[in-house]
Amino acid sequence: MVIDSYTTPGTERETALSAGELLKAMDRAGVERAVIAPQDREIAVRHAEGNDRILKLASASGGRFIPACSVSPWRGEEGLRLLREASRCGAKMLVLAPMLQGFIPTDEIADPLLKLAGELRMPVYVHTGPHSAGGPTQGVLMAEAHPGTNFILGHCGSTDHAWDMPVILQRNRLPNVWYEASLVRPWAVPGYLKAAGSSRIIFGTAMPRNDMEFELAQLRRLLPEEEHPDVYGGNLARLLGEGA
């Protein structure tokens, strides 16, 4: 089963994508299930609204969408309440986007939220990239400080942290960290897989920022699905507590 670990059916700007369009793209690409996450405005400020929208889309999808939620660490106690509520309603993953939400991953402001995500057994997807709030090395320190919480480093820092990633994968591997490959150039993924092992790499497309069919075809060319079923869905399913 192929599971896309990160998509954004939304209504605004580059994430304007209806649930129907996403399902059609999944059918075309041969993706059975996809994690759906709130769009940027919902990740930045409209958390309850975004979580509610995503949960509704998931509940109407016949199990094909796996809902993620987002809460800014700056919401404090109110944020913890929002996360508990989202979890109670079925959210399976917490999305943090440090650049968008205005915090450095190692900042103690995020500690209560990360601790609670661990208690709720909800993996935390952290967007990483070439900016000062969300580098993959920051993600490692964040995960190190929260051994009871599972983390997915989204995008593996994408392009300009390509020098950090081999060191992280070889020397700073943590039992509570997985590595998601959307926005990583496809030819870099086999090297990451070799360094981290097949149980740690997770396929994702970041649709609609990327084209799902294209991204999957590119990765399949370099990492045949039949040889790496865990990358294409098994690892994520286990992480979400759904078996594989």
Partner 1 sequence: MIDCHTHWGRAWTERDGLDPRRWLEPLTAHGVQRAMVMPEEGLLDAGRIGRDNDRVAAVCARSDGRMIPCCTVNLWMREEAARETRRCLGDLGMRGIKFHPWLQGGSVSSPLMDEVCELAAEYGVPVLFHDGTPPFCLPSQMALLARRHPGVQIVLGHSGLFEHWREAIAALKGTPNLWGCLCGPHVAAMREIVRQCDLSRLLWGTDHGYGLADVYQYRFPLMDTLRLSDAARQAIFDDNPARLLRGPASASKIR
For binding to partner 1 (CB under 8 A), which residues are involved? 14-15, 99, 129-132, 155, 158-160, 183, 185-187, 206, 208-211, 214, 217-218, 221
**What is the nearest approach in angstroms of partner 1 to the Cβ of residue 14?**
4
Q: Could you give the CA distance from residue 135 to residue 131 in angstroms, rounded to a whole number?
A: 6
Quick one: angle between helices 164-171 and 136-145, nearest 10? 30
**C-beta closer to partner 1: residue 212 or 240:** 212
Q: How far is the CB of 179 from partner 1 (least distance, A)?
A: 17
CB of 176 to partner 1, least distance (A): 26
Query: What's the min distance (Å) between Cβ of 160 and partner 1?
Result: 5
| Residue 60 or 222 with smaller CB distance to partner 1 | 222
- Looking at the Cβ atoms of 159 and 199, the one nearer to partner 1 is 159
CA–CA distance, 194 with 189 (Å, rounded to integer) = 9
Phi, psi of 72 (to 5 degrees): -80, 135
Buried-exposed string 214-241: b where 16+ CB fall within 10 A, e elsewhere: ebbebbbeebeeeebebbbbbbbbebbe
Q: Which is nearer to partner 1, 194 or 221 (CB)?
A: 221
Closest CA to 11 of 47, 38, 35: 38
Of the pair 10, 79, the CB lying nearest partner 1 is at: 10
User: What is the Cα–Cα distance from 202 to 179, expressed in whole angstroms?
Assistant: 6
Whichever of 150 and 182 has its CB closer to partner 1, that residue is 182
DSSP string over 27-86: HHHT--EEEE---HHHHHT-HHHHHHHHHHHHHTTTT-EEEEEE--GGGHHHHHHHHHHH
Give least dist CB 220 to partner 1, A. 12
Least distance (Å) between residue 140 CB and partner 1: 19
